[in-house]
Structure 1
């Protein structure tokens, strides 16, 4: 979490994400990279890359920098290192390229909640980039005056392709001093006995040193409902899930689970790429 990228369109929801990033940065000595991506037609983007002074582009660039100045004066950013990036990029690779260029270790983004990833606040191009992100993506739904994380639900099928994401989740939990609640949801169409489920989870985690966890088998109508209902039951601070790159959130757990999990969750969600 040493370098946190926060894409923004200067909306209230984006500011919620920035406030959370600021709290994390103060606790962990992180730097913040505040990014605004201009939605510019491809022909104009090409012109920008060749340093032509297009009036419309220059105007929106100037407006973005002015809004950055207002944000930089916010009290919650006092004593933090915040880098300002305005990028005119017509491709969805913009965020991924910035992550590689600056060594970003986490992305924090705002979301409406009801529409979730389909209306992330830097447009559809950023949505595609986030789905392909090689670093964890923290999705913030609401304002958090005190963003503390004590209980994290890590939902998985606990098969081998999720081991890398589990390692990322344990590192995140360790940084926050949080407890991981390992969750496997049982459904009627994909039922596993409690013994087999416990054995699978124990086999999955046996090679890891992380010990601050609980093991939970939860029965529900669907995996999505199970994750949401269990998280509500323990009043979790955060839900952690795995993503499969381009297939995004709709294809974790080796199956096809709706993005409604992220859209309907009322609490923050963090995604880890498999």
Structure 2
């Protein structure tokens, strides 16, 4: 891992994310890129050129000043930190920033969301999770010493998840973490008996691991009423440090009606969550 991108809005949740990114950067000898999105109103750019330039410079200088204070912290000592300020307002643009800078990981703070705000607006973190081709690590709380010892990767073991599975294994290997695979068996139409589940998992692992089925013993089948509660209950059982999950990155009307389990987990989990784009 060489580069970590951290979106900053100067909130305490941004600090939580930056603190975790710093720990990872020290472990992996990586550098950190911090980005602040100005999100200036289009009204500014309809003014005359001189006034537009003056206002843009003012907001840029203000952001730079806040950066100098925000980044003046002991936990960033001896880490290369690059600052950038952009007038981005659409969070999908972070994906392009990450690609242009060859970023390996996005670390983002989140307060989560619930109720009507989640249905109609969602959180900024959710928007990043939905659009990012790069793994997104979501941090909800202050973590003094971030470490990954017990890592959970949850999926339905459909073949479309193989790419995300490979990404998760590669990343968790960097931390020398113990990998736990979990399948959530649900009641109703999606219920499967033991033979059906085992066949699906073995077929998946046979293809994903080039015929090697040794990871089959790492798979736990959790029976529960929803995917969310199943994952959360299993994580409590093993005292997981992180939850890894694939996400389709649904957008628009299909996202509104179908939702995304990856985004829901990222929004509601207490543990850090890392999403991998399918």
Tell me, yes or no, whether TM beats 0.5. yes
Q: Is the Cα contact below 8 Å between 2:60 and 2:85 reproduced in 1?
A: yes
Q: Which secondary structure state, in structure 2, belongs to the residue aligned with residue 241 of structure 1?
A: strand
Indicate how the Cα distance of structure 1 residues 136 and 46 shifts in structure 2: closer, same or farther if over 3 A, else same: farther
- Residue equivalent to 1:176: 175
Q: Which has the higher helix share?
A: 2
Q: Which of 245, 254, 265 in structure 2 is aligned with 1:241?
A: 245
Distance in 2 (alpha carbons) for counterparts of 1:34 and 1:70: 13
Q: Where does 1:235-274 land on structure 2 (aligned, <5 Å)?
A: 235-247=239-251, 257=261, 259-274=263-278
Distance in 1 (alpha carbons) for counterparts of 2:193 and 2:221: 9
- Residue equivalent to 2:30: 30
Q: Shift in Å at residue 162 of structure 1?
A: 0.3
Deviates more, 1:149-158 or 1:96-105: 96-105
For normalisation by structure 2, the TM-score amounts to: 0.85
Indicate how the Cα distance of structure 1 residues 128 and 257 shifts in structure 2: closer, same or farther if over 3 A, else same: closer
Q: Shift in Å at residue 145 of structure 1?
A: 1.1
Q: Is the Cα contact below 8 Å between 2:37 and 2:88 reproduced in 1?
A: yes
Q: Where does 1:187-202 land on structure 2 (aligned, <5 Å)?
A: 187-189=186-188, 190-202=190-202
Q: Where does 1:1-274 land on structure 2 (aligned, <5 Å)?
A: 1-44=1-44, 53-115=52-114, 127-189=126-188, 190-206=190-206, 207-208=208-209, 214-247=218-251, 257=261, 259-274=263-278
Distance in 1 (alpha carbons) for counterparts of 2:140 and 2:268: 10
Indicate how the Cα distance of structure 1 residues 115 and 33 shifts in structure 2: closer, same or farther if over 3 A, else same: farther
Q: Is the Cα contact below 8 Å between 1:132 and 1:245 reproduced in 2?
A: yes
Cα deviation code 1:43-98 (max 9, x no counterpart): 536889x8975333322211211111113321000010100010012444421221
Indicate how the Cα distance of structure 1 residues 110 and 22 shifts in structure 2: closer, same or farther if over 3 A, else same: same
Q: Which secondary structure state, in structure 1, belongs to the residue aligned with residue 218 of structure 2?
A: strand
Distance in 2 (alpha carbons) for counterparts of 1:127 and 1:5: 16
Distance in 2 (alpha carbons) for counterparts of 1:219 and 1:141: 27
Distance in 2 (alpha carbons) for counterparts of 1:258 and 1:4: 21
Distance in 2 (alpha carbons) for counterparts of 1:45 and 1:210: 59
Q: Shift in Å at residue 109 of structure 1?
A: 0.2
Q: Which runs of 5+ in 2 are unaligned?
A: none
Q: Shift in Å at residue 153 of structure 1?
A: 1.2
Q: Which secondary structure state, in structure 2, belongs to the residue aligned with residue 221 of structure 1?
A: coil
